[in-house]
Structure 1
Amino acid sequence: MTDDARSLMDRMYRPQRHIYDLTRKHYLLGRDQLIDRLNPPGGGAVLEIGCGTGRNLIRAARLYPKARFYGVDISAVMLDEAKASISRNKVATSIVLAQGDAANFDPGALFGQPRFERIFISYALSMIPAWRETIAHALDLLEPNGSLHIVDFGDQADLPSWFRQLLAKWLELFHVRPRAELESEFAGQARARGLAHKHEALYRGYAFLDVAAFAGDGGSGRGA
């Protein structure tokens, strides 16, 4: 974890952390679809990389009360907000949070949990400079029956050019840079490890929702 990256995220989120969830719900599309399809096994460990305010973990903990949840984020400011929100929503016993760099954190040291049945990353890779390394790290933390779920900005190929340009300028204000090759990179890394990869474009390419899973496990329904 670099001090520069941590400081940048803390400076950016400190003035907006209290309104983050309210403002982002209008354009971080596909998050709920991802959570609704996680389907962790009972007692399974679920990790969110780049957990932010804890919004996704709270929803997941309510949906899958038999699973165990973990969240890691580089920003201490966002983790403070997540802890407060988790406490308000009375799911504190289900979720453990820790500060760490998405590309190289040690979950055994942070959580006492070295591997996970489900890992998900929601609109974080477009903010992480080492996003390729983050995908690789997440894949290497999966249990043999595990799956990695990613939702992020797509290519918007079927949307008007003016919309794409306006969105790019808006996202740049928040240091968000959609990765044009993210989907292909994820697919390549997954298949190199013998995992099946499934790609789904959402809202005319506005976003994509992809899953990499070991044979026989797709995390594609509701359970636990």
Structure 2
Amino acid sequence: MAQPFPNNILGETASGMTEMFPKLLALHQGKVQEGKSDSSGKENGSTTSNSSQGNNAAFADTLGGQPFLQEPLEIVIDKNKHKLALISGDTIVRMYDVGLGGDRTPEGSFIITDKVVNPNGRSNGEFGSRGMQLSNTNYAIHGTNEPDSIGLDESLGCVRMRTGDVEELFALAPQGTPVRIGEDVLPDLTLVPEAKQRYQHTLVPKQNNPNKTYHWLN
């Protein structure tokens, strides 16, 4: 999943990912097998139970002894508040201030398609160091060389982010992440983890796209 463009489903890696991935995969497979056993009306047996307990031990220091994020990631952009939230169910993973375009910023549901490093060919271009296209449109979530526009409606419709923010979001949100844009769409919070420092990640090489010039509505 962590490959050069256009197969960069994961754009960044972290030191603990390689170690944790097989444990998460085994936990997921155990739940799938348990579901199949339940639907067939047969007993689950001790093998699945013991396996689940062993996998859960990897999360002994997390809330409830379970993987912290139980639901798929989603990006929600609130036009009234000029906020972008990366959420999992009722958990807000990150919250950022963004610049928008007022009525020029479309409302609705999209997904992250192209994820591009330096979409202008340089990190200080009008789209900054990272860009994430919204479905098959001319709109994207991207960096900006006009940081004073964050919190305002000065774009032509795209979602502008500060450099550190867009680089962290690029690292956290994989290709295919749903994006929902509207007014007053932030979830009612029941759980908000603290974010005292940036997500520590390593950029996957070759995530630029030299074969395309992006003409997003900045």
| Shared fold (TM-score, shorter chain, > 0.5) | no
Greater relative contact order, per chain length (Cα 8 Å cut-off, separation 6+) = 2
**Structure (1 or 2) with the greater helix fraction:** 1
The TM-score with structure 2 as length reference comes to 0.24
Structure with higher Rg: it is 2
